[in-house]
Amino acid sequence: MADEIKTTQEEQAESRNFIHAFIEEDIAPGGQYEGMTVHTRFPPEPNGYLHIGHCKALTIDFGTAEKYGGLCNLRMDDTNPTKEDEEFVEAIKEDIHWLGFDWGDRFFYGSDYFEEDYRQAVGLIKKGLAYVCQLTPEEFKEYRGSIGVPAKSPYRDRPIEESLDLFERMRNGEFPDGAMTLRAKIDLASGNFNLRDPVIYRINHLPHHRHGTKWCIYPMYDFAHPIQDALEGITHSLCSLEFENHRPLYNWVVEHGDLPSRPRQIEFARLGIDHTVLSKRKLRKLVEEGKVSGWDDPRMPTLCGLRRRGYTPRSIRNFCERIGVAKSANVVEYSFLEHCLREDLNETAQRVMAVIRPIKLTITNYPEGQRETVTVENNPMDPAAGTREVTFSRTLWIEADDFLPEPVPKYKRLYPGGPECRLKGAYLITCTGCVQDESGNVTEVLATYDPESRGGDPADGRKVKGATIHWVDAATAVDAEVRLYDNLFSDPDPDAADKDFLSCLNSSSLEILTGCKVEAGLVDAVFPASFQFLRQGYFCLDSKDSSPEHLVFNRSVSLKDSFKK
Ligand code: ATP
Ligand code: MG
């Protein structure tokens, strides 16, 4: 790592990985899983694309298995018949592979256990631990009780035979949606409402994306999940904190079902990031309402969006490792994610010169028609990256803001009568004036160069007082479109419950610049190569819209680090 100073996040990561502590206890001599292989699973619901919050979960799931030489299953949580889609299944697999994790041949669908879920439910009824309840949804609400007031159901003590018969007929499609449910018989007076005889099956006459109309009853997540875990031999079922209150129910199913193993559920805090939303429902809304160009819009916190933006797998994995695994809610600064990317690209990205808001510079004492090449380094952080040749001539493009007709205090760049400046890798120049149009706009900057300063250093060792600026030879420069991104939301907390997240959008989150001038060599660039545009930031080709005829670059992250350690 380039940076030896530990961030607060990293210190927390080291001291707070309580999951590892629990696992080590479990596999130690005398522990409940002594001698067993640590086995985790990542269970995404295929109803949207993975986002950075999922990355935290899957880094924990796959990373924990890796750490203990164990296994991690990928399981599509598709027990709910609504909304699931094969498109998302493939995208989820692609995203996980891209991050560098692999599930081998352990890919499953939660819905493949429907038959077994049903068998488990029948087993519970037979043990007197589940019953068919015919409360209407309205009655159900009315009878759920409150703190200190138990829930009630007149069907609780119906004979086992009657529940068995009704449950089978539910399966056979004899009843409409909502007519009855199967409930676990646990404790109507429990202080934990999840244990107040929770519904474990409901009727839903919706076809399932993989099983068609075979089923019209579907198991609830809290019932299906522990069964799936136990059938797959999962030892540690790691999930986010909202399931903490469901753990007693998870354990109840594991204890009372007829299951081959006893997995343990451990919860960790969900990841929140400022200036963005991390909920598939909200992300979908942004797409549907056209607020972004799609799930892979480079401003989206989705993995496909981050990838298109130029994020590397290494930067995201580093981020997930460094934010740590805490039990208390953690909102991380978006600037920390950017910091992790910058750190990675600083080591690996090739440096190039690109002028994004160009103005012409003419070197009046450089012979017309003359051309030469100068050598510039590809990456000062990595000498092995070598050097490249760029052409130089009398007419160059420079950034418009590297020139001012009248200097402001402390301005060290080009202005008439100003200090000598260095053209990166080429020559020293002194500004002599400019050309303006009738309305006073500067159309061309004029300068003279010191022919003895080739490479950028004066022959007599005099001090160069002005700045080093980047440039591109106008004769060989290639046009490009450059897209500059800012936070998608101007409000730091658009996800807050009391806010309409759509009204928190940042109206200037995308700025498109055309007619930018880049080094000719960039025509050969291929996604996902990243470049540092000197003095500007890190950029990558847009994987969708860029072509050699029309180059489009996305700014992945600026050079300025706003993350405070
Ligand atoms: P969303 O609200 O975005 O739909 P979800 O929890 O319903 O989230 P799933 O596809 O069910 O999405 O999530 C798969 C796994 O990822 C779950 O184990 C879930 O706990 C975890 N996960 C989802 N969002 C986050 C987050 N922000 N931080 C950490 N883990 C998360
Ligand atoms: Mg979910």
Q: What is the pLDDT of residue 70?
A: 97
List, in order, residues 6 or more apart from 125 with CB less than 8 Å away: 131, 160, 163, 164, 167, 182
Quick: pLDDT tens for 434-445: 999 999 999 999
pLDDT number for residue 9: 54
CA 218/CA 232 separation, integer angstroms: 20
Residue with tokens 């099956």: 201
Query: Strands, DSSP E only, in 424-489?
Result: 428-436, 442-449, 468-469, 472-473, 478-485
Atom 27 (ligand 1): residue with closest C-alpha?
A: 53
Cα 100 to Cα 58: distance, rounded to the nearest angstrom:
11
Q: Which of 49, 50, 54 best tests ligand 1's pocket when mutated (most atoms within 8 Å of CB)? A: 54
Q: Which two tokens stand for residue 485?
A: 């991104």
Ligand number nearest CA of 44 is 1
Beta pairing class for 130-133 and 71-76? unpaired
Structure tokens at 169: 């007929």
**Ligand 1 atom 7: residue of nearest CA:** 45
Q: Which atom of ligand 1 is nearest to the CA of 46?
A: 10
Ligand 1, atom 26, residue with closest C-alpha:
53
Give SS3 for 410: coil
Q: Using one digit for the tens of pLDDT, what is the confidence trace for 57-107?
A: 999 999 999 999 999 999 999 999 876 677 899 999 999 999 999 999 999
On whether the CB atoms of residues 222 and 265 are closer than 8 A, the answer is no
3-state secondary structure of 417: coil
Give me the helices (H) in 267-392, please. Answer: 280-288, 303-309, 313-323, 334-348
For residue 385, report the phi and psi dihedrals to the nearest 5 degrees.
-70, -15
For the chain, the average pLDDT equals: 94
Residue 484's DSSP bridge partners are 511
Helices first, then strands: H and E counts in the chain: 13, 27
Please name the helix (run of DSSP H) or strand (run of DSSP E) that holds residue 256, with its range, or none: helix 247-256
Per-residue pLDDT of 214-246, as tens digits, reads 999 999 999 999 999 999 999 999 999 999 999
Q: How far is CA 184 from CA 205, 245, 290, 482, in A?
A: 22, 16, 44, 58
- Kindly report whether the peptide bond that precedes residue 528 is cis, defined as omega within 30 degrees of 0: yes
CB 516 within 8 A of CB 356: yes
Q: Give the HSE-up count for residue 288: Cα atoms under 13 Å, Cβ half-sphere.
A: 8
Distance, in Å, from the CA atom of 80 to the CA atom of 207, rounded to the nearest integer, reads 10
CATH H superfamily, domain 280-350+480-557? Ribosomal Protein L25; Chain P (2.40.240.10)
> In angstroms, what is the span from residue 41 Cα to ligand 1's centroid?
13
Alpha carbon 453 to chain centroid, angstroms? 47
Cα 188 to ligand 2 centre (Å): 26
Query: Which ligand number lies closest to the CA of residue 273?
Result: 1
Highest CATH level, class, for 354-470 = mainly beta
Q: Where are the domains of the chain?
A: 37-268, 280-350+480-557, 354-470
Q: Give strand pairing partners of 531.
A: 350, 539
432 CA to centre of ligand 2 in angstroms: 65
pLDDT at 542 over 60: yes
Residue 86, pLDDT score:
79
Q: For residue 279, how far is its CA from the centre of ligand 2 (angstroms)?
A: 9
Q: Quote the pLDDT of residue 3.
A: 42
H or E element, residue 554 = strand 551-558
Considering every ligand atom shown, identify the ligand nearest to the alpha carbon of residue 281 and give its number: 1
Please state, in angstroms and rounded to a whole number, the distance separating the CA atoms of residues 407 and 413: 9
Three-class HEC string of 356-396: CCEEEEEECCCCCCCCEEEEEECCCCCHHHCEEEEEECCEE
Q: How far is the CA of 111 from the centre of ligand 1 (A)?
A: 18
Q: How far apart are CA 210 and CA 89, in angstroms?
A: 12
The pLDDT assigned to 8 comes to 55
Q: What is the pLDDT of residue 2?
A: 40
Instruction: Report, as an integer, the average pLDDT of 137-146.
Output: 93
Q: Are 471 and 399 in contact (CB under 8 A)?
A: no
Residue 38 phi, psi (nearest 5): -70, 130
Cα 341 to Cα 316: distance, rounded to the nearest angstrom: 7
What gap in Å lies between CA 31 and CA 19, rounded to an integer? Answer: 15
Nearest alpha carbon, ligand 1 atom 22: 54
Residue closest by Cα to atom 3 of ligand 1: 279
Using pLDDT thresholds of 50, 70 and 90, give the confidence band for residue 561: confident
CATH classification (class only), 37-268: alpha beta
What number does the ligand 1 atom closest to the CA of 281 have?
Answer: 4
Tell me which of 62, 240, 334 to substitute to probe ligand 1's pocket, judged by most ligand atoms within 8 Å of the beta carbon. Answer: 240
Tokens standing for 242? 């909202």
DSSP state of 175: S
Residue 406 has pLDDT above 90, yes or no: yes
Element holding 168 (H helix, E strand): helix 160-171
Q: How confident is the model at residue 564 (pLDDT cuts 50, 70, 90)?
A: low
Q: Name the residue at shortest CA distance from atom 8 of ligand 1.
A: 279
Residues 256-283 have a mean pLDDT of 95
The C-alpha atoms of residue 231 and residue 190 are separated, in whole angstroms, by 28
pLDDT at 87: 85
Which residue has the least CA distance to atom 18 on ligand 1? 239
Q: How far apart are the first and last CA of the chain?
A: 15
pLDDT in tens, 481-514: 999 999 999 999 999 889 999 999 999 999 999 9
Dist. CA 276 → ligand 2 center (Å): 19
Q: How far is Cα 287 from Cα 285, in angstroms, rounded to an integer?
A: 5
Q: Which atom of ligand 1 is nearest to the CA of 50?
A: 10
Fill in the amino acid letter for 557.
V
Nearest-atom number in ligand 1 for the CA of 57 is: 30
Catalytic site positions: 45, 270, 280
pLDDT band for position 179 (cuts 50, 70, 90): very high
Q: What is the pLDDT of residue 202?
A: 97
pLDDT digit string, tens, across residues 6-60: 555 555 555 558 999 999 999 999 999 999 999 999 999 999 999 999 999 999 9
Closest ligand to the CA of 239: 1
Residue ranges lining ligand 1, Cβ < 6 Å: 43-45, 53-54, 56-57, 77, 239-240, 270-271, 278-280
% of the chain at pLDDT higher than 70 = 96
Residues 6 or more apart whose CB falls under 8 angstroms from that of 313 comprise: 98, 99, 100
Structure-block tokens of residue 125: 């009824």
CA 492 – ligand 1 centroid, Å: 21
Q: Report residue 1's pLDDT band, with 50, 70 and 90 as the boundaries.
A: very low
Is residue 40 within 8 A of residue 103, CB to CB? The reply is no
Q: Which atom of ligand 1 is nearest to the CA of 45?
A: 10
Helix (H, G, I), strand (E, B) or coil at 24: helix
Note whether 280-350+480-557 and 354-470 share their fold: yes
**Residue 414: is its pLDDT beyond 90?**
yes
Identity of residue 233 = G
DSSP 53-73: HHHHHHHHHHHHHHHTT-EEE
